[in-house]
Every structure is written in C-alpha cells, then in structure tokens.
Amino acid sequence: MRELVGTARRWVAEERVGYLARPVAEEGFGPRDPAGAVLVDARGDCVGALYQGVFDAELVAEARAMGAGDTARVCEVSVGGAEAVQAGLTCGGRAEVLLQPLAQIPAQWWELLGAGHGVALVTRLNEAADRAVSEVVRAGDTPADDAARRAGELLRTRRPGRDALYGGSGLVLVEAYPSAPQVVIGGTGELAEIIARQAGLLEWGAVAVGSAAEAEKVLSAHRDAACLVLLSHEPEFDVPALRTALALGIPYVGALGSRRTTARRREGLLAAGVTEAELARVHGPIGLDLGARTPQETALAICAEILGVLGGRDGGGLRDSEGPLRA
C-alpha cells in the first residue's frame, strides 16, 4: 500500500477518477503480500500489485461500471490452479475485492502512510456493500469501538494486516500498516552486517550503533518500531543498552552471548534496578533454536525470532500447531 502513495496523491490532485482495490475476504492463492492493493481507473491503468495482476482486467471493468455517485463496489474474482501458476501464484483461489473511489479515501491516510507512520484505515460498508465510509486510526489512539481496538492490535504486530469484522449494520474492513520494524544492532562486525542484510530482505530498517548512548538515541527515536539486537559483550555497553530498551518498552529485546555472558548481564541488570518481570522480556541467548552455526544462519535465527515475537508466535513448527496458518 505504501508504494501507492505517490500515484494516489497525484491522481487526486489531477482530479482523475481512480479507485483503490483490495481484498475483503479471500481463500487460497498460497503465500501472498498481506498489504497487496492496486489503483485502477476507467482508462485501464493499474498501479500496484494484487494477486500478481491476474485480476487487473476484471477490476478495470468493475471500475468502469461504477456510477459517479457510488462509494463502494465489492466484486468476486477467482482463478483456477493452472492459470494461477501461469500468473506466478502458488495455487488458485477466490476473493471478494473492495473498490473505493480515491475521493472517498481520507487525504490523511495517504499523508501518514507516505511519512512512514503506523496507521490503520477502518472502512464501514452497509449490508448491500455498495456504500462505504473510511476513517483513519493512528498507532496509540484510544480505541472508540471494536474496529478501532482491532486496528490497534494489528498495528502492534508491526506487520501489515487486514481483518473483516461482521456485525448487524454490515461489514467493517480494518487495514493496518505499522511502521516497519527498525532493528537496532548494538555492535559492529560481520554478524552485524549480515543481520542488516537479512532485515533488508524483510523490508525492515536496520542501523548499527557503537555505544549505549547511541543506542538510547536511536531506540528513543524509533520507540514504536525498534527491536534491539545486542551483540556487544562490553558491560559498559550491553547492560545500559538493555536497561534503556526495557524502560522504553521496546517490543523485542535480544542479546547475543553464551549462558555465562547472559548470567553476567542478568546480574548487572538486577543491580541496576531492573525487575524480574522486565528481565523475562530479554531474549538471551538470542534467536530461535534452528541449529545455527554460521553468521548467516545465526542472522536468520535472530530475525526469525523477531518475526515470531512481533507476530505473537513462539516459532514452533507449523505441523505441530492448530488453527489458521495466517493470523
């Protein structure tokens, strides 16, 4: 969605009639971008990525069918297995896609998205799904209802997500786009560089810091999205940095080191006034138990643990889990 900001704002400024299309409900397709969306207009232009573009022509036709006063249109689309694979999808699927005129999307939505803020769009549709009203919910806002509460929950995962809530008055689509995780790497060297590259593959930010003071500055600047990965074994660096991260409520706090180093840090943090409850938030030794040995494998284990913690998962195997694979 964030990649659409420039085009959406330009189309609005040009008074061009365009529509924002994204799924309300879906089934199948295999792994896909949870933030997938596309801008379409009656001319046939499509900007963005939704199901590898397999439905672009149908969405353009739906856009052309919308009346001047329409505020929403929900259309059903589906694709079979062979056509899906040809389009680059893992498997076939079906979806209900919501189209809304850009004029109905709050300008604040595009402004906050473009600035990188954590923000959610709550869209309320009537029972016929032909009328819609959208409002913006920012990270940290006090929830006024169940939809805003769900928006806050999705934003706290630090991962884009959508949810559809059904009630007596119709459907409410909640779309959350948190600030991207910012991995603050305490220390330098080969592993720090590889962790930064791994974070980049996940479209996260990453910055290496060389002192406790620098760590505090960066953590404070990205308080709502920072994740601390502490590599340094220097007591004047690691204990103050960990204490700062815990005090700020940073969502992920991890520290690389042997069990002996972990015990030394624990004693230092207790002496600095950190409570047992706060200590329980430190992931040390750091990373999922993947049998990692090389720096590349260790970086993967660390980033995988961050992903699980932010998503509220424990990192167990999917075959041993119950419930939906996508939360």
Judge contact between 179 and 139, C-beta under 8 A.
yes
Q: Largest Cα–Cα distance in the chain? A: 69
How many beta carbons lie within 10 A of that of residue 115, not counting itself? 11
For range 54-63, the mean pLDDT: 93
Domains of the chain: residue spans and CATH: 2-177 (no CATH), 182-310 (3.40.50.720)
Task: Looking at the chain, list the stretches that DSSP marks H as alpha helix, in order from N- to C-terminal side.
Answer: 5-13, 56-65, 81-87, 107-114, 146-156, 190-201, 212-221, 235-248, 259-271, 276-279, 295-310
Task: Compute the distance between CA of residue 11 and CA of residue 88 in angstroms, rounded to an integer.
Answer: 29
For residue range 102-118, list pLDDT tens digits in order.
999 999 999 999 988 88
pLDDT at 325 over 50: no
For residue range 173-196, list pLDDT tens digits in order.
999 999 889 999 999 999 999 999
For range 153-174, the mean pLDDT: 86
Report pLDDT for 318: 45
Structure tokens at 282: 């430190």
Which residue has 């036709």 as its token pair? 61
* DSSP summary character for residue 3: G
* Entry pTM: 0.73
pLDDT at 69 over 50: yes
For residue range 302-315, list pLDDT tens digits in order.
999 999 998 888 77
